[in-house]
Amino acid sequence: MLGMEKLSKTKKLVAGVVDTNVRRGQEKLAKMLSDKGLVSPTTLSMMGEMSDIYKAMAADVAKNPLRTISAESDLLRKYLALGSYTFSRAMGKDQDSVASPESDDRRFQAEEWSKHLPFDLLLQAYLINSQAFQDWLEGMDNLPKDTRDQMLFYARQVTSALSPANFLATNPEALRITWETKGKNLLTGGKQFIDDYKQNPKLFNVGMTDRSAFEVGGNLATTPGKVVFQNELIQLIQYTATTETVAKRPVLIVPPWINKFYILDLTARNSFIQWLVNQGQTVFVVSWLNPGPSQRDLAWDDYMEKGVVAAMDNVTKATGEAKMNLIGYCVGGTLVASTLSWLKKKGRKPTVSVTYFTTLLDFTDPGGISIYINDRSLAGIEKMMNKKGFLDGRAMAFTFNLLRENELFWSFWTKNYLKGEKPAAFDLLYWNTDGTNLPAALHGPYLREMYLNNRLVQPDSLSFCGETINLEEIDVPSMFIAARQDHIAKWKSCYTGAQVHGGKVQFLLGGSGHIAGIINPPYKEKYGFWTNNVDTLPENPDDWLAEAEQHPGSWWPHWVEWLAQYQGDQVPARVPGEGKLKALEDAPGSYVKVRAADAAKS
């Protein structure tokens, strides 16, 4: 027994030494490749993550051989069933498929997949293999959650990329189109691929929409207004009233800087800004600068002082009103909450209400992006940003697309390049591809201190502009609006953030996801929403939902009713540029028109 115990200890010691030496070798190789500029720091960090994942998989196989044998036995049974299915179809008999795609899986909806036996078998074999692989990985319960989530994510990327729908020779629909058009689809697809590559030669992404169909300020972001203030970080836009009188207290919208504000001002019928103006509100919006290398040192403090606070001060100058209603969208809401806490410490109270659209304050469960939130990944991102001075918005857009890769990448790959279809003109997808860069001094600490360390909800743990931040001290009435299918800011995470916010808090849950759940104009009569006007939010979000009242259609009118108690009396409509602030240029301004690639050169 002593001999076996000593042998076991020796094996562990040797394994530990080998693992340490291998890791040191990896680190030296990574440093050499990074120093010579052969591989980017983010790619190296991803390679390191995948290496750790492969080791974890190998270790699990060694520790749990019976589970692996069971998985292989199950896979064998399915292939035997597939053989029986093949024989039955060859004999002209009907038999249920062994594996079928999900009803919402658009990759295999063409009838050619089931019509022709070879492609039917290829599809089922792919589904059997990919599902078996995912099931085997999901069964690794002894792994840390972060490692397991990353492993499942990378496995999904591999299985999605290997789908037979992605290759001409194995896609029967693409082959039929090629035959019918005598190959013209491939010529068109090749031209579209080259055009998309030229758009982003170093950061390739598929074309999602007909870019020639839209122009910011032409048929997007067309709500009339004026830029009435600008500094090195923002332009402040005041919109032209459409009613004879307006609410006394203006509305200031702080959108995210991770993308552009005109998600709130797409085509006129879908514009939240135009709709809000039509409700008799004086609306202001912050338009963020698209930064490049020269803005590398802009930090959270700057976005508070030169962004939100500067905007508030100038809304007051433009209208003469010291009080206003505030809206923060996504990370714009996170910034707004930080600013309100800072203003409280300073003894200032310029806001009478605040609304948060899909905003995270508590990052305990940050949604799908969590697979990128770990020390190794962040170290790679930080090294890359320190070198370039910013995070390229196109790279970030690609990483977000990979959270729903089949819908946001491979579907366009197949349509654009294999079938030769021209992307449709879709305003939302045009906006989605019109990205923004992020300054190094801002984005690195944001990811590390909020996403990774979750310090924003810890009272007085973070300091900005010389003051510690305590969200519990905020005493401004608030409404948090989340979206039930949101995979970026999960509604339950938005809910737990609302629980740490001081003051009188209301919570509203909309249908759909991160964008459609917010941009849901009343005329569409879609999605619906839930309200529960309790004085104190229940501890469990499921309890809140169980007692909530469901309503049809858009939440916009309901929210405006809530806002009415804070808007003040009616006053004559204000004209942008006729107050203390003069008009500098027409809305939507010039900052929003700068593309990420052009900003990267500045």
DSSP run (H or E) holding 508: strand 505-510
The answer to whether 463 and 316 are in contact (CB under 8 A) is no
Q: Whole-model pTM?
A: 0.87
First and final C-alpha spacing in the chain: 70
Both tokens of 205, joined, read: 């992404």
Q: How many CB atoms lie within 10 A of CB 103?
A: 6
pLDDT at 9: 54
If one compares 62 and 311, the residue with the highest pLDDT of the two is: 311
pLDDT-derived band at 591 (thresholds 50, 70, 90) equals very high
Strands annotated E in 160-310: 225-230, 234-239, 245-247, 251-254, 283-288
Q: With bands split at pLDDT 50, 70 and 90, how would you rate the model's confidence at 602?
A: confident
Exposed, middle or buried by CB within 10 Å (0-12, 13-18, 19+), for 8?
Answer: exposed
Report pLDDT for 22: 47
The confidence band for 7, taking pLDDT boundaries of 50, 70 and 90, is: very low
What's the angle, vertex CA 32, arms to CA 40 and CA 47, rounded to 5? 45
Catalytic residue (choose from 221, 251, 276, 330): 330
Q: What is the pLDDT of residue 256?
A: 97
Give residues with Cβ within 8 angstroms of 550, minimum separation 6.
Answer: 528, 529, 530
Strand ranges, E, within 379-487: 390-391, 438-439, 463-464, 467-468, 478-483
pLDDT of residue 40: 60
pLDDT at 451: 94
Q: Mean pLDDT over residues 164-183, rounded?
A: 96
584 close to 227: Cβ distance less than 8 angstroms: yes
Report yes or no: 239 and 457 within 8 Å, Cβ to Cβ.
Answer: no
For 480-535, write each residue's pLDDT tens digit: 999 999 999 999 999 999 999 999 999 999 999 999 999 999 999 999 999 998 98
For the question of residue 330 being annotated catalytic, the response is yes
- The SS3 assignment for 167 reads coil
Angle between helices 145-161 and 41-63 (to 10 degrees): 100
pLDDT at 228: 98
> How many Cα atoms are found within 13 Å in the side-chain-facing hemisphere of 545?
13
Local structure of 551: helix, strand or coil: strand
pLDDT band for 53, please (50, 70, 90 cuts).
low
DSSP H helices, 402-483, are 405, 411-413, 427-433, 440-445
pLDDT at 3: 54
User: What does the pLDDT look like over 434-457, one tens digit per residue?
Assistant: 989 999 999 999 999 999 999 999
Look at residue 368 and tell me whether its pLDDT is greater than 90: no
Neighbours of 376 (CB within 10 A): 14
Length of the chain: 602
Angle ∠(202,208,213) on CA atoms, nearest 5: 110
Cis peptide upstream of residue 144 (ω within 30 degrees of 0): no
